Amino acid sequence: MGRIVTRAWLIAAAGALLSGPALAADGLVLQLRDSGPDGSAGYLAARDKGYYAAEGLDVTIRPGGPQAEPLDALATGAADLAVEGMAAALVAREKGLPVVNIAQPLNGTGLALVCWRRAGIGDLRSGLAGQTIGVRFAADRHAFIAWMNRIGVPTDGGEQGANLIEQGAGLETLRAKRAACVTATAPVGGQQPEAGPDFVTFHDDGAMPGDGLYALGTALADPAGESRLVRFVRASMRGWAEIARQPETAGGPQQRMGPACCGPQVNVPDGRLDIAAAGRAVQALLAGPHPLLSAPPVGAWTEAITDRAAQPGAAGALPAGAQAAGRPQDGAALRKAP
């Protein structure tokens, strides 16, 4: 009897040793940028519907907020991936942080400027001269300056430029009359909420890429790390596809305000970065009264992750039609940006 019990125990122990590591999911930490549902809905859907688990991933989602610094989380090792706008990411890359765009789940920033109607700002190029503008520095500063660069408005104050101050929550800074205008963001796939009859809203029509997924270049150099990123993007885009089909699942009534107008659009099916839009973003950061870049970046993005995530036949793969015919060299295309 003792030999039978011992043999059974050995078999069970051997089975545990063989099955334990195979069942262990790969851990990955994502740092969000915003605290609301718009920038996080697709990732939360992927988690809650088990898409990450199906890819063998154990994903921790760190919440964002008005003062969140996703790229700092990458730099310190607190996160493996960060959700950030392209303007902020390119500026950080020039300063030495080797961040790379691996996917672009959302197109467009949804950035807008809400101004007092009585301020008489009919045209931004001339109307913002001498005005005080409230900006969420952590979230929107770089994207806003890029917008102003594109239309030729200085942002260092003075009679010809706009004076930027840190804005409070929502329209608080505007209603307190501390600024003539403040920045606002339209929800994903929706319209900018109406501020009221006393205000007028201007939308950034430059179509700069919005919140993308960024990783450090070292993660791309490691085959195991790259595999995690491929599986994460594939699962995340399944989550974002759910939001595109049923935007009300994002959790906010703002999602049901009307037809798509000014908010970011879900970049289904594959989250592939629009290279032309990236080129426009670079030009806006290079030019204008206050350039934020001194030279076009190289290696600032890669399509390798979205290419692999969309491969036909891969587990949980997106439709084969998601693959594009061409594949520009990673960041080198920036030097030829229009």
Record the tokens describing residue 177, joined without a space.
């009359």
The DSSP 8-state label assigned to residue 188 in this structure reads T
pLDDT at residue number 209: 83
Prior bond to 269 cis, omega within 30? yes
Strand partners of residue 218:
none
Maximum Cα–Cα distance for the chain, whole Å? 95
Q: Which amino acid is at 233?
A: V
Phi, psi for 5 (deg, rounded to 5): -65, -45
Listed in order, strand segments (DSSP E) in 63-159 are 81-85, 99-103, 106-107, 111-116, 132-135
Closest CA to 154 of 137, 176, 131: 131
What is the C-alpha to C-alpha distance for residues 338 and 336, in angstroms, rounded to an integer?
6
> What's CA 312's distance to the chain center, in Å?
26
- Segments in the chain below pLDDT 70: 1-23, 35-36, 186-195, 206-207, 248-263, 312-338
Return the residue matching tokens 């920033």: 109
8 burial class (0-12, 13-18, 19+ CB within 10 angstroms)?
exposed
What is the C-alpha to C-alpha distance for residues 102 and 300, in angstroms, rounded to an integer?
9
Sheet holding 57-62, edge to edge: 57-62, 26-31, 81-85, 211-216, 99-103
Domains in the chain: ranges and CATH: 26-108+209-336 (3.40.190.10), 111-203 (3.40.190.10)
pLDDT at residue number 330: 36
End-to-end CA distance of the chain: 81
219 burial class (0-12, 13-18, 19+ CB within 10 angstroms)?
buried
pLDDT at residue number 27: 97
Record the tokens describing residue 328, joined without a space.
């520009």
pLDDT at residue number 17: 43
Phi, psi for 183 (deg, rounded to 5): -80, 155
The DSSP 8-state label assigned to residue 301 in this structure reads B
DSSP helix/strand/coil, 35: coil
Record the tokens describing residue 168, joined without a space.
């409070």
What is the C-alpha to C-alpha distance for residues 16 and 295, in angstroms, rounded to an integer?
55
